[in-house]
Amino acid sequence: MAANDLAYELARTLKESDEFKQFLVSKEKVMSDANNHKMIRAFQLKQWEIREAQMLETEISEEKQQELERLYSLVSINPAAREYLEAEFEVSRMVNDIQKIIGEAIQDAMPIGFEELNL
């Protein structure tokens, strides 16, 4: 079987997984409520902002950190929002595991100079 065929089969398998189905259900719940959608969006944007600062090794202000914590508190007490983030995490974990498996399989074929990165 060709690698592309296996990739399409993997994509179908992911879409049919319980984790992905739960993610879609929880996403629909969040999207159907404007307040929940707005809250999740604000939380995720703040998360991205802080991650970007960390990657750039930029100092993260106490104010930004407190805002993220405040948003997390709101999200964590909201059942629909919490369920969505948990489902999103599970799908992301699956995709990351797959990427790791593929990365390990092709590690020896990486260009010269990348071997010390332990990809």
Give yes or no for residue 119 having a pLDDT over 60: no
Mean pLDDT of 38-48: 94
Provide the pLDDT confidence category of residue 112 given band limits of 50, 70 and 90: low
What's the Cα-to-Cα distance from 76 to each of 40, 66, 68, 86, 116, rounded to whole Å?
10, 15, 12, 10, 39
Each domain of the chain, given as residue ranges in start order, spans: 18-96
Mean pLDDT of 29-51: 94
Provide the pLDDT confidence category of residue 116 given band limits of 50, 70 and 90: low
Global confidence as pTM: 0.79
